[in-house]
Structure 1
Amino acid sequence: MSDQYGSPEPRTIRDATVDVLRGLGLTTVFANPGSTEVPFLTDLPTDLRFVLALHEGSVVGMATGWAVARDRPALVQLHTTAGLGNAVGALATARVNRAPLVVLVGQQDRRHLDLEPFLTGRLRDLAGSYPVRVEEPVTAQEVPAAVARAHHTAADARGPALVIVPMDDWSEPCDEERVHAAAGTVVRAQEADSSRLAGVAGLLDTAENPALVAGAGTDTEEGWAALTALAEHLGARVFQESFGARAGFPQDHPLYAGVLPADRPGLRDAFADHDVVLAAGAPVFRQYPYTSGPLVPAGTRVALLTDDPEEAYRSPVETAVVAPVASAVRGILERTARRTGPPRTRGGESSPAPPGENEPLSPSHVLAALAQRASPETVFVEETPSSRPEMHRLIPARRPLGFVSAAMGGLGFALPAATGIRMADPERPVIAVVGDGSSMYAVQALWSAARYSAGVLFVVLSNGGYAVMDRLAEQQGGTPSWPSFPDVSVAGVARELGCPAHCVDTYAGLVTELDEAVPHLEQRQQPLVLSVTVDAQGVFRP
């Protein structure tokens, strides 16, 4: 680039940082721009792609889907206090879902920060402990290396890493002698030290009836293959972690035993016949309501394989091994004796009969109809708390990335995440199953889905209220203090955001819409919202 007299313009910190981003493969920027980001975002080089979302929660949600689908960090830019504050819930979800993100956060001009001018952000601690790293470069020359360090940490710790950059830093001349260096490439071990697996292997060999627990940490082709081989080698039932972000085992396999209960009595019942339990890439054990007593029956011994040190430290297990999980599972298989015996078979799940002529649609009717039509390659993104148990029962994950949800439990994930997944992996069909209440937390993501031709099928189960909250209130012996909202039209909002939408209130109409849309999802360029009216009483009762 040259100035008006033909002389080369000095290389800036922005130029140096863009080179770092290129080298790291961070060339898609998910953002909702603000004034403190203008110096970076204006006139982006043509090889950097800007992806706009209309709220920061959707920005981070789309980037989370992108990172999960591609299994590598995605790049986000947020606008000082307002942007980072709006995104904190989504960043928490990214951390618990273990999605690697590099997050640039804009800050006011460094030259008068001490006076706290308008839009100054108190940013370092705003997201609490959810970032895996927070970089706040002391000088502009540190920015490129800070971005590289954030990338490496996000990839290793599997979460969002923040870099706070004052707006004037981008235009600072790059002093090549003062720009700090960071590792260009970090090579990560892919194999576990097999000698450290002997204790876990020995534990399994002593078991009369071992069980396995799969989690999001084995939701890769390699992880599924390794855990399937170990389960068949041991003849062991495989449970899915509760409230998991992803499915860690093929849920149509004869040894699949279903999703673990999220309460202690339920866990003890599930493990009643098992003397050894090995969790692979899953927490030990995720709970929701507090209930008394031990997690597992007396005498049941528990071990853990994980690549997350924090998960290892907090888990009440006999032995925890921190290592690449798929490799560790293979090492366990090599060190354990094969068990002979009759294979276990899992009974098929019965689908509900279609509703009668005057019978309202239930979520089960919708989920069963989807299950009958969706291909094994379909990615199902879930955010329907009142219907999640039925979704697990009726729609098994048959391929890695077949099921994706927000392990954090916060709403506003599915619409942007499904959009990001489809953008990152346009070869796979994507169906998001969302409650109408959940959809309102990030409904603006539908604009981005339409704008960027993300051909997701969004199936909104519309019961006109917060059904799971109503059931919880009833469980407490009371009545809800909050109103329902049957007057809210998700389809109407979607259409105003440029996303095609149809309303469905009969089984015949549902079948017609699904038969038209589902077979063509792989080729679909345009998103579609199906707002399906379902009976509020026909939902999960906790």
Structure 2
Amino acid sequence: MSQKIEAKTGGHLFLNLLNLRGVEFVFGTTGAGMADIQDAMVVVKPPKWIQGLHEFVSVAAATGYALASQKVGVALIDRVVGTQNAVGAFYGAYMNMAPIVVFASENVPGVSIPTGEPEYHYYTELSHFVRPWIKWRSKLESLETLACDLDKAFYSAQSEPPSPVFVSLRQDLMAKPLDAKIEVARRDLPPHAPRLPDDGTLRKIADEILSSSHPFILASHAGRKAEAVHALLDFAHTFGIPVIERRVFLNYPMNDQLHLGFTNSIRPEVPKECDLLLTLEVGVLPPQTFEQQVIDFSTDSLHVQDVYEGGDYGSTLYGAKIRCVCDVSPTLKKLAKLGKEVVKGADLSVITERSAKVEQLHRELYEEWRNKARQSYEEERLDGWSIGYVLNKFWNGETTWVNAAITLRDALLRSIELNTPGTYFGNPSGHLGLCIGMAYGVALAHREYTDVKDMGGYKLGKISPARHAVVCTTGDGDAIFGNLPSALWTCAHYGIGVVYVVLNNACWGIEWAPIERSTQHWAKNAGDFEFLDLDNPRIDFSKIGESMGVRSYRVSDVSQFERAFSQALEGARNDRPSLIEVVLPKFTGEKPSVVP
């Protein structure tokens, strides 16, 4: 099946092809190399251009959109400088398993642009900058292959394991006059047939579980798909197995009786009594391994993308009694079905008894966490527990959390009780800044560009009202790395309801421990914190927010925070962004840094 697409220029053809593929938004940062693409955006909608003020933030936003929508996120950046600016965001997208396609404009030396524009910022192969963090790359050399390139790019990005894809678009081809109707084959890209273990392997897995006394499930990236959360819930209850998370996605509902909390992201810890560990998309940094017998489920055979802070080396290839390179959700569904067929008699009694014990542990654990949060709140201690208590108090199923907090992360995770798949996104790349842009991409995943009308020389529509509020918790150091002013401006400009909660402890606090443990301890002994303190002057983020047209609050106690968050959340549900700066004690103490 084919259809004819009007194409006045190469850029016009490109936009119509994106429209044909259902792309709602293009996240980008303007550059002179994309002029004819942007010119065509005036008459082709959707996609709707979402302007960012820095390429890192725009690619991060496409990442958030892709993760929350389960569609391909699309970004457009400019030539060599724009690509270099976005490298860190590619890394973050890769470690998040985000299906994004990033297009970059490109000039070729000596090849003139039909409009007479100068060509510059040359580089022979733009993809070299991001090669470790992409699955596939292409350089458009002919408009004849453009439709095919887009098919391959979108298919590659979405196929398991999902990853970024990079396509460079020559400016001379985008500016090339066509004035024609081009016939394009309309192909619905088929989904991959699920990769499943054979029946014999599934039976071995079931037998291993039934013969173990204390099996545990450890999940990391499986929750990037909502269907996997539902499948895991059924599987865990079928066999009576407790679940522990490395929380980078919501892998399991916290209100379920088999949820036993969270493990360290960098060094996952497993209870000593565990005699069988089922890992769901879990990689570990070298030279770590697991002492327990392991059954490994992963879409990525070498665990390169499901490691916290793994880089391109990825995980230790830890020992596994059974290693399943598979699609996790359908595999768990088949195992649950098998379990319901084979679990009988004594096995069923063991599972029932184990489930009851785990339920008691779950109640005790959550009672402890709730008491800590409540006590901190009632005593007006402004810390991770009281902040989490307030957030949890106002939370509902129409709220999504994008979390970049590090210093207060553990308390926040334990005090905000999340149960709906797709309502939590973190940053498994572990570097600072990604979640700032991700947050408004996540918010737009719940919206569309609608009511498009032809106004004669241009088309005009509107971004649909919000169905979700997004809360982004971030530290002061993370906010600076993530170019917070860019994200705030974009949210204000387009009416994107994100609440940015900036936890300002005047320090890159997470970096102090390595310095404190350094070989000679000179910095520790001198009390020299100049390498990480963000003080003298302490940054006033509320004023940054105000300068970007965002309603901003600066709070220093629990009551102030509660009032501010209540108002900010209401605003977010009505498409108004807000910033709440939470002023905390300086992480390294009140003593000023030694500044030579």
Q: TM-score range by the shorter chain?
A: 0.7 to 0.9
Give a deviation string over 1:401-424, Cα, whole Å, max 9, x none: 222111101111222111111122
Q: What is the CA-CA distance between 1:364 and the residue it aligns to?
A: 2.7
Q: CA RMSD in A?
A: 2.9
What do the CA deviations read for 1:391-447 (whole angstroms, capped 9, x no partner)? 222223211122211110111122211111112213122111111111112211111
1:160 partnered with 2:172: no
Q: 1:340 aligns with which of 348, 352, 374?
A: 352
SS of 2:249's equivalent in the other structure is coil
CA offsets per residue over residues 362-405 of structure 1, 9 Å max, x none? 23322222122222442111111111111222223211122211
State the partner residue of 1:306.
Answer: 298
Instruction: Work out whether residues 73 and 151 of structure 1, in 8 Å CA contact, stay in contact via their aligned partners in 2.
Output: yes
Q: In structure 2, what is the Cα distance between the partners aligned to 1:436 and 1:174?
A: 50
CA deviations 1:4-39 (Å, max 9, x no partner) are xxxx99754334333321222124211111111112
Residue from 292, 295, 298 that aligns with 2:289: 295
* Alignment equivalent of 1:372, drawn from 386, 393, 401: 393
* Matched-pair contact (CA < 8 Å) for 1:101–1:161: yes
Match of 1:5 in 2: none
- 1:129 corresponds in structure 2 to 132
Structure 2 residue aligned with 1:209: 214
How far apart are residue 263 of structure 1 and its match? 6.0
- CA deviation after TM superposition for structure 1 residue 235, in Å: 1.5
| 1:24 partnered with 2:21 | yes
1:502 shift after superposition: 0.9
Question: Is 1:414 matched up with 2:435?
Answer: yes
Residues 304 and 319 of structure 1 are in contact (CA less than 8 Å); yes or no, is this contact kept in structure 2? yes
Conserved? CA contact 2:235–2:332, under 8 Å: yes
Q: Which amino acid aligns with 1:493?
A: I
Equivalences for 1:320-335 in 2 at 5 Å?
A: 320-335=323-338
Q: Provide the rounded CA distance (Å) in 2 between the counterparts of 1:179 and 1:109.
A: 28
After TM superposition, list the pairs within 5 Å mapping 1:217-236 onto structure 2. Answer: 217-236=222-241
Report how far residue 251 of structure 1 moved.
Answer: 2.1
Aligned match for 1:39, one of 36, 39, 45: 36
1:485 aligned residue (516, 534, 539): 534
* Deviating more after overlay: 120-129 vs 179-188: 179-188
Partner of 1:275: 275
Aligned-residue offset at 1:360: 6.1
User: Which of residues 221, 226, 245 in structure 2 aligns to 1:240?
Assistant: 245
CA contact (8 A) 1:110 1:167 kept: no
Q: CA 1:27–1:507 in structure 2 vs 1: closer, same or farther (change >3 Å)?
A: closer
> In the TM superposition, what is the alpha-carbon distance from 1:126 to its structure 2 partner?
0.9
User: Aligned match of 1:172 in 156, 159, 176?
Assistant: 176
How far did 1:152 drift?
0.7
- 1:472, CA displacement in angstroms? 3.7
CA distance in 2, matches of 1:525, 1:176: 40
Q: How many residues align?
A: 515
Question: Which residue in 2 is equivalent to 1:527?
Answer: 577
Alpha carbons 1:377, 1:398 under 8 Å: kept: no
CA contact (8 A) 1:30 1:63 kept: yes
Aligned counterpart, 2:404: 383
Cα distance 1:356–1:229, how it changes in 2: closer, same or farther (>3 A)? closer
Measured at CA, do residues 155 and 176 of structure 1 come closer, stay the same or move farther in structure 2, by a change above 3 Å?
farther
Q: Which residue of 2 aligns with 1:469?
A: 511
Contact preservation (8 Å) 2:298, 2:327: yes
Partner of 1:4: none
- Cα separation, 2, equivalents of 1:53 and 1:311: 32
Structure 2 Cα separation of the partners of residues 215 and 88 of structure 1 = 24
Aligned to 2:252, which of 241, 249, 254? 249
SS in 1 for 2:408: helix
- 1:437 counterpart (474, 477, 484): 477
Q: CA deviation at 1:171?
A: 3.2
Given that 1:363 and 1:534 are in contact with CA atoms closer than 8 Å, whether structure 2 keeps it comes out as: no
Q: 1:175 to 1:228 in 2, by over 3 A?
A: same
Contact 1:416–1:446 (CA<8 Å) still a contact in 2? Answer: no
CA deviation after TM superposition for structure 1 residue 237, in Å: 1.2
Q: Look up the equivalent residue of 1:42 and give its one-letter code.
A: D
- State the AA in 2 paired with 1:88: V
**Which residue matches 1:62?**
61
User: 1:132–1:154: 8 Å Cα contact kept in structure 2?
Assistant: yes
**Structure 1 CA distance, aligned partners of 2:473 and 2:123?**
37
CA deviations on 1:64-99 (whole Å, 9 max, x unpaired) are 111111101011111111111111100110111011
Provide closer, same or farther for how the CA distance between residues 430 and 538 of structure 1 changes in structure 2, counting only shifts above 3 A: farther
Q: Out of 104-113 and 396-405, give the one that drifted further.
A: 104-113
Given the alignment of the two structures, is residue 405 of structure 1 paired with residue 426 of structure 2, yes or no?
Answer: yes
Give how far 1:498 is off.
1.6
Asked whether the 8 Å contact 1:63–1:101 carries over to 2, the reply is yes
**Corresponding residue number in structure 2 for 1:200:** 205
The answer to whether the 8 A contact 2:541-2:581 is kept is: yes
Task: Give distance in 2, aligned partners of 1:295 and 1:514.
Answer: 42
Q: TM-score, normalised by structure 2?
A: 0.80
Question: Cα distance 1:371–1:351, how it changes in 2: closer, same or farther (>3 A)?
Answer: farther
Structure-1 separation of matches of 2:294 and 2:571: 42
Q: 1:46 to 1:139 in 2, by over 3 A?
A: closer
C-alpha displacement at 1:62, in angstroms? Answer: 1.1
Aligned to 1:102: 101
Gaps of 5+ in 1: 1-7
Tell me, what secondary structure is at the counterpart of 1:26? coil
Q: Deviations over 1:168-212 (max 9, x none)?
A: 112335699999979542232257355253332332232222111
Provide the C-alpha distance between the structure 1 equivalents of 2:577 and 2:175, rounded to a whole number of angstroms: 39
TM-score (normalizing by structure 1): 0.87
Asked whether 1:118 is paired with 2:120, we answer yes
Q: Which residue of 2 aligns with 1:90?
A: 89
User: Contact conserved, 2:215 with 2:275, CA < 8 A, in 1?
Assistant: yes
- Give the ranges of 4+ consecutive aligned residues of structure 1 lying more than 6 Å apart after TM superposition: 175-182
1:381–1:414 Cα contact (<8 Å) kept: yes
8 A contact 2:107–2:171 mirrored in 1: yes
